[in-house]
Structures are given as C-alpha cells and as structure tokens.
Homo-oligomer: A and B are copies of this chain.
Amino acid sequence: MEHQGKYQKIKTYYFGLLSTLTEDSWKIFESLLSIRTIKKGDYLLREGKICNHVSFVNHGLLKIYYEVDGKEKIIAFFKELTYCCDYASFLTRESAETAIKALEETEVVEINYEGLQHLYNLVPEANMIGRRIAENLFIEKCRNSSNNVTEGVESKYQKVVTETPWLIQRVPQYMIASYLGITPEALSRIKARNSKKTVVAAAQY
C-alpha cells in the first residue's frame, strides 16, 4: 500500500503531543490534510499574500524572513518535524509581511484555514491542541526576543553553534548572519576574533 504512512510523521507527532487524542478524531483530522512539495528556491508563502495553510514539514528546510530595503532579515528556519507557517497572518487573515522559501527540496503536510476551523467545530478537543500550539509558539517567541534583548551578538552566535549545530551544516553563513541580525562581514569578524582567542588560549600551555 503506497499511501500507508503518508501522514505517519504528523500523526506520531500529534499522538505524542496529546495522549488523549482518539483514533476517530485523527480520522477527521487526516481527511483535512494534504501534501505539497516545494522545490529548492521556491516559495511556500510570498510576501503580501495571506498565509492560508499550517504546514508540517515532513522533510526539507525552509526560511521565513522579512525583506526590508532589498535585504532579507531571517526570523526563523523550519526543519523536518516542525510547523512552518506565518501563523500571525494565518490567524488574522491579513496579508503576510514575511515570505517563506525552501532552502532544500521540501515536503509538507498541510491543513488550510477553513479545514482547521472545521476541525475546531467537529472536534472540540482540537481547541486544546490549538491552544497548546499557540502557547508553544508564544513561548518560543518569548525565548527568542528574550535572547535578543538580554544577550550580545557574540553569545547569540555561540548559542546557535552549540544548540543548533545542524543549522551551521545546512545553511550558508550569510544566512546565519541575517538570522543573528548582523551583516556577513560582522559574523566573519566574530569568528576570526574567536579563533584568535582560542589560539591565544592554547598558547598559554
């Protein structure tokens, strides 16, 4: 059966998140899902459009970013087994200030806005899932802004290196710089300074 497990990953994810979810609720949910593939370099969402889907990344990698006077400011990366969405646009039904673009060949499982409202109506427990998702997104966003306010650029970079080493492997450095809110040149200098420090430290022995 070819379709066996088409939605396996998101199903596992959900049952993990919420142990009380029933097989029946899942069937309804499943009926509202669809699959989309995005080629490297293509858009999942263009700036100015209303984000009409919540997408669960089966595999691949995407970036969400603002474009401000010609330069892109990356807010976040979405890798496999995470949600990918401009949730603010999705919820408010206002046009997105962001764009979402695939950095690798990507496959997502999607539910659209009407589908999700439908789900909330048919399956009241889904409100609890929706609540949890919104809460987690909020917590994540708080952690991010907290970092931006309380930490210097240097330690932010260190955090990326130690906490999300896969990022360093999978995206070019100038995108990391954009994500950190600095220019590629500035990041290059930070790295140079650090490796000098290491050399000096090593020379102590």
Contact = CB atoms under 8 A, between A and B. Distances in A.
A66 B135 contact: no
Contact of A73 (B73, B131, B149): B149
For the complex of A and B, the 5 pairs showing the least CB-CB separation, nearest first, are: A134-B134, A131-B131, A88-B142, A127-B127, A138-B138
B91 A150 contact: no
Contacts of A137: 134, 138
Contacts of A143: 88
A7 interface: no
Given A128-B127, A131-B131, A144-B145, A139 B91 contact: yes
A144 B145 CA distance: 9
A87 interface: yes
Contacts of A92: 139
A200 interface: no
B146 A97 contact: yes
